[in-house]
Amino acid sequence: MSKYTWLLIILLVLVSTTNQNNVTLSFQELFGGDIIVYGVGISVNKTTFLINDKGVYNASITLYCNNSGFNNYVKITLRINNESVETVFETTPIKLSVKVYLSYNNSIEVIIYKLGTGFFSILSNSTLMLTKIIQGSAPENGAVKKSFLLEMAAILSILTPIIIRIIQVKKKRGV
Domain layout of the chain by residue ranges: 1-21+138-175, 22-133
Q: Which long-range contacts (CB under 8 A, 24 or more apart) does 137-146 make?
A: 139/58, 139/99
89 has pLDDT over 90: no
- pLDDT value of position 105: 92
Provide the percentage of residues in the chain whose pLDDT is more than 90. Answer: 37
For residues 99 and 172, the model is more confident at: 99
141 has pLDDT over 80: no
Is 22-133 in CATH node 2.60.120.260?
yes
**pLDDT tier, 1 (very low <50, low <70, confident <90, very high otherwise):** low
Mean pLDDT of 83-107: 90
| Beta-strand pair 119-122/55-63 | unpaired
- pLDDT one-digit tens code per residue, 30-73: 989 999 998 888 999 999 999 888 889 999 999 999 888 777 88
